[in-house]
């Protein structure tokens, strides 16, 4: 479960793997590989092309291009480009953040989406803090007003329905969408339709004070679940949006999933899952909008 804090890890390369590579590549090959790894981890550079992670991922988005190759996550302290994404806190900034959510377009300009398992308990003190970083709330603290989850999640924790929409209260007479913008909601219907999409995932590990972001290709895990390889998405990243069609300049894009679903998002930090947003999620969204 991504909601549970995971042990702190210093890296994802195992000693045994390095030894095996050493034998296969020789000294020169190992030195080159080490330089590439340092470059990738330190700068977010895609090794094959020399482009930035975002540029290369958006430019090469065919099915299977990144299959089996984990994306490299980086920490974002200047959150202006990801301000639609924020952390969920229990009782304000002093309560600690435990999940991630993001703003999606709605007529009321006040809807966020996350994983259902993030909002299944008492949410009376839950607040959403978009763009949170380093102990600050640059775009305000927004209390939740109402939460909508599917009956199938409430009754049986159906992993294909591990999605929740919440309405947030206005702050200082403003709606949240007017302050930080919003993503479109994409409901393709099946994981197969989304399996060729390159997505950006931004989320808040509960042990960190700034979000991680990562690009990679989503792949189909099952008929109703998506899978992605992105490093270090540990406890607290449940609900992180999977954004495709991202415009880096405007920050707009389409949410086609959130970390959740199978194993409530995954039980290892480097592999994450999401329910495929189809008709059931579309109906849940419409129910939220109608009630609002």
- Same domain for 288 and 213, yes or no, is yes
Give the end of a domain, one of 59, 79, 94: 59
- Same domain for 92 and 149, yes or no, is yes
Measured between alpha carbons, how far is 256 from 20 in angstroms, rounded to an integer?
38
Domain count, the chain: 2
Q: What is the spatial order of strands in the sheet that 198-203 belongs to? A: 74-75, 212-217, 198-203, 241-244, 254-258, 184-185
pLDDT at 191: 52
CB atoms within 10 A of CB 128: 29
Residue at token pair 């993001």: 102
Measured between alpha carbons, how far is 66 from 53 in angstroms, rounded to an integer?
12
- Same domain for 116 and 183, yes or no, is yes
* pLDDT tens digits for range 210-259: 999 999 999 999 989 999 999 999 999 999 999 999 887 788 899 999 99
- Same domain for 44 and 66, yes or no, is no
Q: Check if the beta carbon of residue 218 is closer than 8 Å to that of residue 242.
A: yes
- Same domain for 272 and 216, yes or no, is yes
- Of residues 142, 132, 53, the one with CA closest to residue 97: 132
- Same domain for 267 and 292, yes or no, is yes
- Same domain for 55 and 195, yes or no, is no
- Of residues 131, 73, 75, the one with CA closest to residue 101: 131
- Same domain for 45 and 65, yes or no, is no
Q: Check if the beta carbon of residue 97 is closer than 8 Å to that of residue 132.
A: yes
Reading the chain (292 residues) residue by residue, the pLDDT tens digits are 665 443 333 232 222 332 233 333 343 343 333 333 333 333 332 222 233 333 333 333 333 323 334 589 989 898 888 999 999 999 889 889 999 999 999 999 999 999 999 999 899 999 999 999 999 999 999 999 999 999 999 999 999 999 999 999 999 999 999 999 999 999 976 555 555 688 999 999 999 999 999 999 999 999 899 999 999 999 999 999 999 998 877 888 999 999 999 999 999 999 999 999 999 999 999 999 998 8
Domain that holds residue 273: 1-6+60-292
Measured between alpha carbons, how far is 153 from 275 in angstroms, rounded to an integer?
12
- Same domain for 47 and 73, yes or no, is no
Residue at token pair 């931004």: 202
Segment holding 98, helix H or strand E: strand 97-104
- Same domain for 44 and 130, yes or no, is no
- Same domain for 155 and 196, yes or no, is yes
Q: What SS3 class is residue 25?
A: helix
- Same domain for 20 and 83, yes or no, is no
Measured between alpha carbons, how far is 138 from 76 in angstroms, rounded to an integer?
14
pLDDT at 95: 86
The angle at the Cα of 238, spanning 236 to 240, to the nearest 5 degrees, equals 105
CA dist list (Å): 137 to 79, 105, 123, 178 = 10, 21, 20, 16
């Amino acid at each position: 479960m991504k909601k549970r804090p995971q042990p702190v890890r210093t890296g994802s390369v195992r000693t045994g793997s390095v030894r095996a590579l050493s034998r296969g590549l020789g000294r020169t090959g190992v030195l080159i590989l080490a330089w590439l790894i340092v470059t990738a981890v330190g700068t977010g550079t895609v090794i094959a092309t020399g482009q930035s992670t975002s540029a290369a991922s958006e430019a090469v988005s065919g099915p299977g291009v990144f299959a089996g190759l984990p994306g490299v996550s980086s920490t974002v302290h200047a959150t202006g480009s990801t301000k639609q994404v924020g952390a969920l806190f229990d009782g304000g900034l002093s309560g600690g953040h435990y999940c991630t959510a993001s703003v999606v377009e709605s007529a009321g300009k006040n809807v966020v989406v996350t994983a259902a398992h993030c909002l299944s308990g008492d949410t009376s003190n839950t607040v959403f803090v978009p763009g949170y970083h380093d102990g600050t709330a640059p775009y305000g603290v927004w209390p939740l007003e109402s939460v909508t989850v599917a009956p199938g999640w409430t009754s049986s924790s159906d992993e294909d329905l591990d999605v929740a929409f919440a309405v947030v209260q206005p702050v200082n007479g403003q709606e949240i969408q007017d302050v930080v913008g919003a993503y479109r909601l994409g409901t393709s219907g099946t994981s197969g339709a989304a399996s060729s999409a390159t997505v950006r995932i931004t989320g808040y590990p509960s042990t960190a004070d700034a979000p991680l972001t990562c690009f990679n290709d989503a792949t189909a895990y099952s008929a109703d679940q998506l899978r992605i390889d992105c490093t270090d998405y540990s406890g607290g990243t449940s609900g992180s949006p999977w954004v495709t069609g991202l415009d880096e300049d405007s920050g707009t894009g389409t949410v086609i999933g959130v970390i959740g679903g199978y194993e409530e998002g995954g039980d290892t930090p480097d592999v994450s899952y999401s329910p495929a947003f189809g008709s059931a999620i579309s109906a849940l969204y419409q129910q939220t909008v109608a009630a609002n």
